[in-house]
Amino acid sequence: MSHMNILNLRTGIGYDTHKIKAGRPLMLCGVKVPCDFGLDGHSDADVMIHALMDALLGAAGLFDIGYYFPNTDNNFKNISSLKLLEKVKGLLANNNFKIINVDMVLISEKPKISPHVVDMKKKISSVLQIDPEAVGIKATTNEKMGHLGRGEGMAAYATALIYKGSSK
């Protein structure tokens, strides 16, 4: 992409949050993370992928994930967010966008995700068809402040850099 026109670069930001729910698996970036709780949501409630999808859609100037995957549609009930991310990748490809890199941060008191980051990067990079080095994944706590600090939920932010290519 050395011939890339800087005017065709686009960035996007995404945010998502979900409440904690006992008895559900905790899915983060498509990886089942061992934990005594999961997240509440219509799909698998993968808070990191949901933030990432909104970042990608926003960068492309498209609608948000609620538009494409409404929580009133039973086709998306308990669906893997990796499948939804694949659909977002398709929407971008249909609009001649190429993904350059993505970056995500999880805000949660527990669990530690560092043992799972390599697997998470592999899953995200595989779906987006980018190098694992182009996928940033990290976590921070909320220093025990507010609802996130009390462990009532998790939140994630994501950014994406994409490139508008030619339709050829």
Report pLDDT for 168: 52
pLDDT over threshold 90, residue 39: yes
Edge-to-edge strands of the sheet including 38-39? 38-39, 9-21, 153-164, 97-107, 135-140
Q: Are the C-beta atoms of 26 and 39 separated by less than 8 Å?
A: yes
**Which residues have CB under 8 Å from 53's CB, separation 6+?**
14, 65, 81, 84, 85, 88
Query: Domains of the chain (ranges plus CATH)?
Result: 6-164 (3.30.1330.50)
**Which pLDDT score, from 0 to 100, does residue 151 have?**
95
The stretch 30-57 carries a mean pLDDT of 97
How far is 67 from 103, CA to CA, in rounded Å? Answer: 23
The pLDDT mean for the chain works out to 95
Neighbours of 107 (CB within 10 A): 19
For 103-114, how does the pLDDT look when each residue is reduced to its tens digit (9 = 90+)?
A: 999 999 999 999
- The separation between CA 74 and the C-alpha centre of its own chain, rounded to angstroms, equals 21
Task: Tell me the per-residue pLDDT of 78-101, one tens digit each, with 9 for 90 and over.
Answer: 999 999 999 999 999 999 999 999
